[in-house]
Each structure stands twice: as C-alpha cells, then as structure tokens.
Amino acid sequence: MDQIQHKFVDIKDLKLHVAEIGTGDKVVVFLHGFPEIWYSWRFQMIAVAKSGYRAIALDFRGYGLSEIPPEPEKTTFKDLDDDLAEILNVLEIPKAFFVGKDFGASVAYTFSILHPERVQGVVTLGIPFIPSALVGQLFSSLPQGFYVMRWRIPGRAEADFGRFDVKTVIKKIYIMFTSSDLQVAEDNQEVMDLVDSSTPLPSWFTEEDLSTYATLYEKSGFRTPLTVPYRALPVDLGENVPNVSVPSMLIMGRGDYVLKFPGLEQYLTSGMMTQFVPNLEVTFVDEGTHFVQEQFPDKVNELLTSFLSKHA
C-alpha cells in the first residue's frame, strides 16, 4: 500500500483525488461504487502494476479525498464522465482500460459509448450494462422498501444515517451489501435497521479497512454519494439503445444480491446482454458477493490481468 502515490487534479474548480501506481503507456483506470472509494481497488492496483500497467484509481467528486462540489444535489452522471475525460487530459492519457464497480460500471460503460476512441476495454463488477428502458422495468418490480427506493427520497436516508456515527453506517452498509438477499425494509422500519450494530464484519474486511472508509466518509459526508448514484440524472444517450463496442468483461459473484433483481440473472445467462455488448465475456465467482474484488482479490486479479493481456 505504501507504494501507491496520491495526487490532486484540478477539474472545473474542483480538486479531485487520484491514487496511482506503476508506469508506462498501458493504463488501467479504476472507478469505484458506493460505499466504496479508491481504496476498494487496492489489491487490483498493485496486481496490474506488477503486470506492467499504470494503475489509476480516482475518488469521484464528493467522495473520499476529492472535493465536494458547491451544489452536491445537482451532480449528474454526466458530470462524472466529464470529470473522467478531463482527468485523462490532465494526466496526458490518450487511451486506457476502465474497470468499474457498482455505479462505477455505469460510468465506465457510458464513457465507452461517449468516447470510444479513448477506451481500450471495459471490465465491470457487480453491475452489467443495462439499457435505460430495462432499468425502469427492473426497478418497477422491486418493493418500495428496497434500499434504492428509500434512498431516492430526499431526506429519508439522511435521517436514517443520522441516528448513527459514520463508522457504524459504513459497517452496516458493507454487511448489508454482502448479503445474497435483497435489502428490503418493512413499512415501519428504516434500512439501517436491517443490520444490527453488533453484527461482526465479514472475515475479509478488517477493522483497519472499516476505519479507512469511515475516516474518508467523515470528511466527505453523504450529500454527493446519496445524489450519485441514487438521485442523479443519467446520461442522455438518445432514444436508440447504443452498443458498447469495445472488448468487455463482466465479473459477478454468484452470491451478489444484484442477481436477485427480477429478470437480471436471465438477462445475463440467456445471451440477451450481448445484443448491447457484443464483445463480452461473463464470469461468475463462486461464493463471491457484491464486494467480490475485496473478498476474492487473487481470483479477480487473475481474471483482470488475463483480460488485459488479451486486449492490450
């Protein structure tokens, strides 16, 4: 971890944090999800750097060490794609591989559609490419107590989180998202109540890891993270469903709760997804959860470096 260097890049009057290790023209950019930050890619960054790549992991605006935008609630997914393009420009990176987890996967896919000339390949974890029309179908079938529905409501998550210190909130979310079941609260229950505060952390997630996350969320707060991904406007890609044309790989833990979304597993296993991502590999990691890259880093590193070597 000590060999990972840190810098700040000035983008549109915001200082965005970038972690970096490795050198050379072959570049891999890592995009985190929620409740993650750059740190969630620590194992993968070191692995790809040892394989000869320059590894870069950023904190999205309002996350981790990156500055909070003046009006966090107005942040959109387009802002994140624009930030990404500017970071590449400042760092003088013409083209790279992009590895995205959770909503970071959405940013990676969208960036590959908006800027295909800058994308060598896309690897995503936990979230497949889902056209906006299908997203609506998926979420319309989910119960109103599902955490995403609750956190979309301004003030609801803020009040729920506010009952606990930041470290407890992050702990509860990590434990909750490690479950293979959908996180659905009853009408008289809040989402944070789905996990008892005394529940132990997963064996692969240490107290030191938790403290690292908590310290950075104490700095950033949750205003931007609750906006993106839960309340932000998606990128307008037009009426026609665009294709992700670059080489792509999806890594899913077989125990990832996302597979419980109505119709999603069939979407992945039936080949329907290849209509939109024709050059796609799908790999399932046995016993993996939504945090498969932290839970089984060696396996994910092996899959990732193999994909990179095939398409570099």
Q: Which two tokens stand for residue 197?
A: 């505060």
**pLDDT tens digits, 82-136:** 999 999 999 999 999 999 999 999 999 999 999 999 999 999 999 999 887 777 7
Q: For residues 290 and 304, is the Cβ–Cβ distance under 8 A?
A: no
Q: Which of 32, 160, 217, 290 is catalytic?
A: 290
Dihedral angle of Cα 279, 283, 288, 290, to the nearest 10 degrees: 10
Q: For residues 79 and 57, is the Cβ–Cβ distance under 8 A?
A: no
Chain center to CA of 131: 17
Is the pLDDT at 1 greater than 80? The verdict is: no
Is the pLDDT at 287 greater than 90? The verdict is: yes
Average pLDDT of 143-161? 95
How many domains is the chain built from?
1
More confident residue, 15 or 131: 15
Q: Give the model's confidence band at 240: pLDDT under 50 very low, under 70 low, under 90 confident, else very high.
A: low
Q: Give the model's confidence band at 178: pLDDT under 50 very low, under 70 low, under 90 confident, else very high.
A: very high
* Measured distance CA(201)–CA(218) in Å, rounded: 19
What was the pLDDT predicted at 239?
65
Chain center to CA of 265: 19
Which CATH number fits the domain that encloses residue 71?
3.40.50.1820
Chain center to CA of 237: 20
Q: For residues 233 and 76, is the Cβ–Cβ distance under 8 A?
A: yes
| pTM of model > 0.75 | yes
Side-chain half-sphere CA neighbours of 145 within 13 A:
13
> What domain range is 216 assigned to?
5-311
Q: Which of 79, 83, 102, 209 is catalytic?
A: 102
What was the pLDDT predicted at 265?
86
* Measured distance CA(168)–CA(123) in Å, rounded: 31
Q: Which of 79, 230, 256, 257 is catalytic?
A: 230
Do the bridges between strand 5-11 and strand 248-253 make them parallel or antiparallel, or are there none, so unpaired? Answer: unpaired
Three-state secondary structure call for residue 126: coil
Average pLDDT of 157-163? 97
Measured in residues, the chain has a length of 312
- Give the distance between the most distant pair of CA atoms in the chain: 55
Average pLDDT of 197-207? 96
Whether omega for the bond prior to residue 131 falls within 30 degrees of 0, making it cis, is no
Q: For residues 148 and 230, is the Cβ–Cβ distance under 8 A?
A: yes
Average pLDDT, the chain: 94
Three-state secondary structure call for residue 30: strand
Average pLDDT of 159-184? 97
Residues facing residue 99 across a β-bridge:
30, 123
Q: 102 catalytic, yes or no? A: yes
Average pLDDT of 232-243? 77
- In percent, how much of the chain has pLDDT > 90? 86
What was the pLDDT predicted at 139?
72
Nearest in space to 119 (alpha carbons), one of 29, 240, 32, 42 = 29
Q: 311 catalytic, yes or no? A: no
More confident residue, 203 or 270: 203
Average pLDDT of 210-228? 97
- Give the amino acid at 217: Y
Residues 6+ apart with CB under 8 A from 306: none
Q: Give the model's confidence band at 272: pLDDT under 50 very low, under 70 low, under 90 confident, else very high.
A: confident
**pLDDT tens digits, 253-268:** 999 999 999 888 888 8
Torsion-angle region of 158 (φ positive above 0: left; ψ -120 to 50: alpha; else: beta): alpha
